[in-house]
């Protein structure tokens, strides 16, 4: 064999730069270490001692070191008697020419005063130990006798092939001890049992890795045997890395909003156009019946439409703006049916055709709307000297008392006194006269009236002049049309 490399067939240890150790175990209770611990330490080759010369003794492990390179060993021929015999041994051993083996040196006998300070010297293979005299030595049990196997010049995990050592594929030969769930992977001189992805090896078993403990997922993590999956909250979806969550634009994916959709982070909102309101389901837009909210939206009638409302006016009226109603003056627009012998009088919601000459006997027409009763006619003595025709219209339910029409004298004689009264047409007492001064008076509506209705009132001004011994009167025939509505 090569110098410095020793194979001890009896002890079953490799020796490189150290020496194989098998000797007495120490009962080192006095030093705080049990014999069993010392035995384990010695068996694993981790106990190191220094002798008097300062050398370090290291006890190697019982298995040959593995390398990532292939190993090739040659079986050496028997030693030659001429010149190729190795006689060198590692430190702590000397060559025994009789047995042609390296033999342990008993340093406790060969080194004078090997241990100082009353320490006791204990020899072991390849070295010695200095221990207190109180330490006791427990002899190692004799190794069990095992059947001898054929000599194999190759290290463990290899087998000879010709003059080389080749690796044994334990996986292929089914000589491994891997679990059914593990994968056997051959290595140089040995093999390893590998767990599937998502598992870790604990002892000889494969235990599932709970990836969720490491917060791989942005939202929710679901652990499954050998793997995990990430899930997102509603309104999100997994990104390309299958871990992060990105917002879902529900508006682009057919959100159930009936009108307008607004995407927000993680959800969406439905909104409605003007004139609609969102239903209880949060998606449907229902029409708002504006007309049901108030009776004052329109002056006449409110018509609800999808998303809006509109105001309409009765016949004879037109819409003013969007809500008010305005009377149509058919007399100005030419939409009346009056003849040339008639005069068109516009009233609320319609028109009235009246005769252009409304003078009746014994009156004669002297101008438009003015009739005079000549004093030469005997029938005129008890009648008003003149009658002037006027027309007006008022709305229904007008607030009262309300001034309606002002009467004004056109001429007054010096020293005359004038009084005003309702001569006829007010049988129900709906009106009264309030005299303002000697030449003027106001017709006042005393009670609210509803239309359509028509009044013809004769308003008389009586003049008395004591200086001239004159007594006379004139009248104003006022036609009042009450419209059907309050506008």
**At residue 69, does pLDDT exceed 90?**
no
Residue with tokens 């509109």: 310
- Looking at domain 250-287, which CATH architecture does it have? Ribbon (2.10)
pLDDT tier for residue 476 given thresholds of 50, 70 and 90:
very high
User: What is the pLDDT averaged over residues 353-365?
Assistant: 93
Q: Tell me if 380 sits within 8 A of 469, measured CB to CB.
A: no
Pairing of strands 120-124, 101-104: unpaired
Predicted local distance difference test score (pLDDT) of residue 65: 38
Which of 168, 173, 175 shows the shortest CA–CA distance to 71?
A: 168
Q: Tell me if 479 sits within 8 A of 390, measured CB to CB.
A: yes
Q: Which two tokens stand for residue 199?
A: 């598992």
**At residue 399, does pLDDT exceed 50?**
yes
Convert the pLDDT of each residue in 280-323 to its tens digit: 999 999 999 999 999 999 999 999 999 999 999 999 999 999 99
**At residue 248, does pLDDT exceed 60?**
yes
Separation CA 347–CA 455 (nearest Å): 13
DSSP-based helix, strand, coil % in the chain, nearest 5: 5, 40, 55
Q: Between residues 412 and 168, which one has the greater pLDDT?
A: 168
pLDDT tier for residue 480 given thresholds of 50, 70 and 90:
very high
User: Domain 358-482, what fold?
Assistant: Immunoglobulin-like (2.60.40)
User: What is the pLDDT averaged over residues 216-235?
Assistant: 94
Predicted local distance difference test score (pLDDT) of residue 117: 82
User: Domain 168-208, what fold?
Assistant: Laminin (2.10.25)
Q: Which two tokens stand for residue 117?
A: 């300070």
* 326-344 CB burial, b ≥16 within 10 A, e <16: ebbebbeeeebebeeeebb
**At residue 255, does pLDDT exceed 60?**
yes
Convert the pLDDT of each residue in 86-137 to its tens digit: 678 998 898 888 888 898 999 998 988 889 888 899 898 889 889 888 887 7
pLDDT over 90 percentage in the chain: 61
Q: 62-70: long-range contacts at Cβ-Cβ below 8 A with a sequence spacing of 24 or more? A: 62/12, 62/13, 62/14, 63/14, 63/156, 64/14, 64/155, 64/156, 64/189, 65/14, 66/157, 66/187, 66/188, 66/189, 66/190, 67/188, 68/188, 69/188, 70/167, 70/188
Strand, helix or coil at 258?
coil
Q: Do domains 168-208 and 250-287 have the same CATH topology?
A: yes
Predicted local distance difference test score (pLDDT) of residue 145: 67
Separation CA 426–CA 459 (nearest Å): 10
Q: Tell me if 196 sits within 8 A of 169, measured CB to CB.
A: no
Asked if the 211-247 domain carries CATH number 3.50.50.60, the reply is no
The residues spanned by each domain of the chain are: 6-138, 168-208, 211-247, 250-287, 358-482
User: At 285, phi and psi to the nearest 5?
Assistant: -100, 125
Q: Between residues 45 and 444, which one has the greater pLDDT?
A: 444
Residue with tokens 């992805």: 197
User: What is the pLDDT averaged over residues 453-462?
Assistant: 96
Convert the pLDDT of each residue in 5-54 to its tens digit: 333 333 333 333 333 333 333 333 333 333 333 333 333 333 333 333 33
Q: Across the chain, what does the average pLDDT equal?
A: 82
Predicted local distance difference test score (pLDDT) of residue 338: 96
**At residue 68, does pLDDT exceed 60?**
no
Separation CA 172–CA 126 (nearest Å): 41
Strand, helix or coil at 41?
helix
Predicted local distance difference test score (pLDDT) of residue 83: 45
Element spanning 419, H or E: strand 417-424
Q: Tell me if 442 sits within 8 A of 406, measured CB to CB.
A: yes
Predicted local distance difference test score (pLDDT) of residue 149: 62
């Amino acid at each position: 064999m090569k110098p410095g490399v020793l194979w001890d067939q009896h002890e079953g240890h490799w020796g490189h730069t150290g020496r194989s150790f098998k000797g007495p175990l120490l009962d080192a209770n006095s030093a705080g270490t049990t014999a069993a611990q010392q035995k384990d330490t010695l068996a694993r080759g981790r106990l190191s001692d220094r002798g008097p010369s300062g050398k370090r003794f290291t006890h190697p492990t019982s298995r040959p070191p593995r390398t990532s390179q292939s190993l090739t060993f040659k079986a050496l021929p028997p030693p030659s008697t001429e010149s190729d015999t190795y006689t060198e041994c590692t430190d702590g051993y000397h060559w025994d020419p009789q047995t042609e083996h390296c033999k342990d040196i008993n340093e406790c006998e060969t080194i004078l005063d090997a241990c100082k300070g009353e320490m006791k010297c204990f020899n072991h293979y390849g070295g010695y130990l200095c221990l207190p005299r109180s330490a006791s030595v427990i002899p190692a049990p004799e190794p069990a006798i095992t059947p001898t196997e054929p000599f194999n010049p190759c290290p463990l995990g290899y087998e000879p092939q010709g003059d080389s050592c080749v690796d044994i594929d334990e996986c292929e030969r089914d000589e491994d001890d891997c679990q059914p769930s593990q994968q056997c992977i051959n290595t140089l001189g040995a093999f390893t049992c590998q767990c599937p992805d998502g598992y870790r090896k604990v002892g000889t078993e494969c235990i599932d890795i709970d990836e969720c403990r490491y917060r791989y997922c942005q939202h929710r993590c679901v652990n499954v045997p050998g793997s995990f999956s990430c899930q997102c909250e509603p309104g999100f979806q997994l990104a390309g890395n299958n871990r992060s969550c990105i917002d879902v634009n529900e508006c682009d994916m057919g959100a159930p909003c009936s009108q307008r959709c607004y995407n927000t982070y993680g959800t969406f909102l439905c909104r409605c156009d003007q004139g609609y309101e969102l239903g209880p389901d949060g998606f449907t837009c229902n029409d708002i019946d504006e007309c049901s909210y108030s009776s004052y939206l329109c002056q006449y009638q409110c018509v609800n439409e999808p998303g809006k409302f509109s105001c309409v006016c009765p016949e004879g009226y037109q819409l003013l703006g969007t809500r008010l109603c305005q009377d149509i003056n058919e007399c100005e627009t030419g939409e009346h049916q009056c003849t040339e012998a008639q005069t068109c009088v516009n009233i609320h919601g319609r028109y009235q055709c009246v005769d252009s000459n409304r003078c009746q006997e014994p009156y004669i027409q002297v101008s438009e709307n003015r009739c005079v009763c000549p004093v030469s006619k005997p029938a005129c003595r008890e009648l008003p000297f003149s009658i002037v025709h006027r027309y007006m219209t008022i709305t229904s339910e007008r607030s009262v008392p309300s001034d309606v029409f002002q009467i004004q004298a056109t001429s007054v004689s010096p020293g005359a006194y004038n009084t005003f009264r309702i001569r006829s047409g007010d049988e129900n007492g709906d009106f009264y006269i309030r005299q303002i001064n000697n030449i003027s008076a106001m017709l006042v509506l005393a009670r609210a009236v509803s239309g359509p209705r028509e009044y013809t009132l004769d308003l008389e001004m009586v003049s008395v002049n004591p200086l001239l011994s004159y007594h006379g009167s004139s009248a104003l025939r006022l036609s009042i049309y009450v419209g059907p509505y309050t506008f």
